[in-house]
Amino acid sequence: MGKPSLVNQSAVSDFLLLGLSERIEEQPLLFGLFLGMYLVTVVGNLLIILAISSDPRLHTPMYFFLANLSLTDACFTSASIPKMLANIHRQSQTISYSGCLAQLYFLLMFGGLDNCLLAVMAYDRYIAICQPLHYSTAMSPRLCSLMLGMCWLLTNCPALMHTLLLTRVAFCAQTAIPHFYCDPSALLKLACSDTHINELMIISMGLMFLTVPLLLIVFSYVRISWAVFGISSPGGRWKAFSTCGSHLTVVLLFYGSLMGVYLLPPSTHSTERESRAAVLYMVIIPMLNPFIYSLRNRDMKEALGKLFGSGKTFFLP
């Protein structure tokens, strides 16, 4: 078999995003389904941000990070779904070379930021439950802003570095990506030049954005569990755990979907399985987050009720 033809990266003008299905009759259904989920995701997360910013009672560290998580979720989904919808509408599968790299950068940055914020929120709950007397000092507005800035910096720099390293990769003539977004691993499979540095970067980013935040979350909840089970009153235990329920639900959904794909043996990997997992953590979980954080949270429900009742949203007169 002959060697794949080599194309200099400057000559690659487009990639093909094969999407979730190539069947023409399924495209209208996919368009309507993902448009609906995208609108719910953006509107729901923006409502969370508006409710938190408009209610002084919610100007606390926990809700400060929740507002930033909502913003991150909306941006994370917006990095891929609008392009997917546009391609379905135009009956096209193309994405420009620069557009693919830009999409990859934003997916890596906001995906990593999601992980960092979940870890910081777990730390917030750990301080609130295990060291309540030091909470106002350990989670002061200055330190919260500093932690948020560190999250942005730690996610932006590696994402930018990985994207810039991809500009040095030479691609083969075959440029079809079997996903609805520019997946970094799928992009490297199309390369005809050496990609060892890029693969090492993917492993490093996986450790930084997935393993380290997950270990911090696990450590925080182990300490929280010890503290909660030391409370003699069942009502006190339930009250302490109830403040963590929404966050823990999101963590289990997010990391469960990732582990369901990336921790399985390579022989079980398939494009279809990876695409389903991507839909789960890139679309469905960001869509569910506003409901998870508001349905069982009395303060959030009251803030949302005031927001609608005061006419501050564009939904009501």
Q: Between the CA of residue 255 and those of 44, 55, 118, 241, what are the distances in Å? A: 22, 31, 11, 20
Rg (Cα) of the chain, in Å, rounded?
A: 21
Nearest to 242 by CA among 115, 103, 152, 125: 125
Query: Under CATH, domain 14-304 is a member of which superfamily?
Result: Rhodopsin 7-helix transmembrane proteins (1.20.1070.10)
Which residue blocks in the chain are alpha helix, DSSP H?
27-54, 61-78, 81-90, 97-130, 135-138, 141-166, 184-189, 196-206, 212-229, 234-242, 245-262, 271-279, 285-295, 298-309
Measured CA to CA, the distance from residue 289 to residue 119 in angstroms comes to: 16
Q: Is 157 exposed, middle or buried (0-12, 13-18, 19+ CB in 10 A)?
A: exposed
- The answer to whether residue 2 scores a pLDDT higher than 70 is no
Tokens representing residue 174 in the block: 């075959």
Residue 293: what pLDDT? 87
Per the CB < 8 A criterion, the answer to whether 228 and 221 are in contact is no
Residue 275: what pLDDT? 79
3-state SS class at 3: coil
- The answer to whether residue 8 scores a pLDDT higher than 50 is no
- The answer to whether residue 314 scores a pLDDT higher than 60 is no
Q: What is the pLDDT of residues 258-310, one digit of tens each?
A: 776 565 555 555 677 777 788 888 899 999 999 998 877 888 888 888 888 75
Amino acid occupying residue 234: P
Measured CA to CA, the distance from residue 80 to residue 73 in angstroms comes to: 12
The pTM of the full predicted model, rounded to 2 decimals, is: 0.87
Q: What is the pLDDT of residues 33-91, one digit of tens each?
A: 999 999 999 999 999 999 999 999 999 999 999 999 999 999 999 999 999 999 999 98
Residues of the chain with pLDDT > 90, as a percent, come to: 47
Domain boundaries, the chain: 14-304
Please state, rounded to an integer, the average pLDDT across all residues of the chain.
Answer: 85
> Tokens 């910096």 sit at which residue?
153
Q: State mean pLDDT over 203-219.
A: 88
Residue 311: what pLDDT? 45
Strands 171-172 and 94-96: unpaired
State the pLDDT confidence band at 186, using cuts at 50, 70 and 90. confident
Amino acid occupying residue 99: G
191 secondary structure, DSSP code: B
